[in-house]
Homo-oligomer: A and B are copies of this chain.
């Protein structure tokens, strides 16, 4: 077998919190690399993200069957492992960058595909500058992923649409439930959702309310300072008018002093601090001040892992940005993030594009104020127009024995060529 030494190998890693569709992006990358075998050598994945690159713990994606790669498209989580590990600046930790170059050189890696959110975009930017900083030729392409939807420039981030759909479906269902019980039992239901800084996920819950009075009747955003009195008055009015009140609350809601409502200094009977959610705090407040019976739910990881009710649009976009990353690399690009560019709202049309990473790294996209109603408790039509296409379509995984069939990869390690490297943290 003649190995083409001119063909550069590629590296792919998943970074940060995983989503229902980040593996669809991985499938897009693998699929595109396999279709371009004449131009790209092997595709290695980092085990547990960038840590895999630093520790030379590489996975040979070539060992995975076509069926497994196809199944990645409908498998939530990060199939190669992810990590929360942000590279420091070149000046602060030059050793890490030198190690990356050493690993890339040892394994003939010339393409770096990094699949993550804001912090990862920053890491990807630094890697893309290795040519200048350390003289090692690399093309680094960032593949967007985050349930928080807070990356700039791109219309949306793969991962968000599916969380959005899960939250909208869930609050609709819970709203129907509470409405049936309200006569003699629960009158207020609180669903806590993710979004520490931006209210995109909470806003998505608002899509479930297609007509006046439908659940959720109240949304609490991190962008809006929590006003207890105004909130309680709204809850009371809603219960009196509609018989019940369904509330979506973002984990990041804060009071006028900037404190997270979830952080109430809660302690158990032994004095142990309890890290509770914000949902029980809101529910307890309603019970105490208004006397209504309540129920609350905290969706936590269920929302971002819920591949069973993923948005078809989201899955398609996740796959497309993975594929495009490879295409852009083959066109010679470096230091860009793949974007989703909206061409029209109705019908929703989009295509992939790209933006220099320098314009992305360390910028967060917040909810525009005109996406939130003036009273601060719901979303506007402008927000609906933006969000609506992102939850379109269902993309059900296959089932066996009543359960979704998600793939576990073989994740075969590539033989190491270098001495071990100790992570600082």
Residues of B within 8 A of A300 (CB): 174, 295-297
A residues 267-293 in Cβ contact with B at 8 Å: 267-270, 272-277, 279-281, 283-284, 287-288
Copies of this polypeptide in the complex:
2
Residues of B within 8 A of A307 (CB): 173
Is the pair A208, B403 in contact by a Cβ cutoff of 8 Å?
yes
Return A103 CB to nearest CB of chain B, in Å. 17
Is the pair A168, B403 in contact by a Cβ cutoff of 8 Å?
yes
Assuming A77-B180, A265-B268, is B302 touching A172 (CB within 8 A)? no
- Choice from B170, B183, B210 contacting A302 with Cβ under 8 Å: B170
Residues of B within 8 A of A311 (CB): 402
A317 at the interface (CB under 8 A from B): no
Residues of B within 8 A of A184 (CB): 48, 51, 83-85
A residues 56-84 in Cβ contact with B at 8 Å: 75-79, 81-84
Return A325 CB to nearest CB of chain B, in Å. 20
Residues of B within 8 A of A191 (CB): 302
Complex: how many Å from CA A82 to CA B297?
Answer: 21
Is the pair A174, B277 in contact by a Cβ cutoff of 8 Å?
no
A residues 168-190 in Cβ contact with B at 8 Å: 168-170, 172-174, 176-186, 189
Residues of B within 8 A of A368 (CB): none
Is the pair B176, A406 in contact by a Cβ cutoff of 8 Å?
yes
A210-243: CB near B (< 8 Å → 1, else 0) gives 1000000000000000000000000000000000
Residues of B within 8 A of A185 (CB): 83-84
- Choice from B75, B173, B273, B392 contacting A176 with Cβ under 8 Å: B75
A142 at the interface (CB under 8 A from B): no
Q: Which of A180, A184, A269 has the most CB of B within 10 A?
A: A180
Return A307 CB to nearest CB of chain B, in Å. 6
A355 at the interface (CB under 8 A from B): no
Across the A-B interface, the 7 shortest Cβ-Cβ residue pairs: A265-B269, A391-B402, A78-B180, A77-B176, A297-B300, A173-B305, A48-B183
Is the pair B180, A302 in contact by a Cβ cutoff of 8 Å?
no
A304 at the interface (CB under 8 A from B): yes
Cross-chain pairs A/B with CB under 8 angstroms, 29 sampled: A14-B180, A17-B181, A18-B180, A51-B183, A51-B184, A77-B179, A82-B181, A84-B181, A84-B184, A169-B404, A172-B406, A174-B302, A189-B301, A207-B403, A208-B403, A210-B401, A210-B403, A264-B270, A264-B274, A266-B269, A268-B281, A273-B284, A274-B280, A275-B283, A275-B284, A275-B287, A297-B300, A302-B302, A311-B402
A interface residues, how many (CB within 8 angstroms): 87
Which of A's residues lie within 8 Å of B, judged by CB?
14, 17-18, 20, 48-49, 51, 75-79, 81-85, 165, 168-170, 172-174, 176-186, 189, 191, 207-208, 210, 264-270, 272-277, 279-281, 283-284, 287-288, 295-302, 304-309, 311, 388, 391-394, 396, 399, 401-404, 406
Complex: how many Å from CA A314 to CA B321?
Answer: 39
Is the pair B180, A82 in contact by a Cβ cutoff of 8 Å?
yes
Closest to A279 in B: B298
Q: Which of A82, A176, A402 has the most CB of B within 10 A?
A: A402
Closest to A176 in B: B77
Closest to A393 in B: B402
Residues of B within 8 A of A388 (CB): 401-402
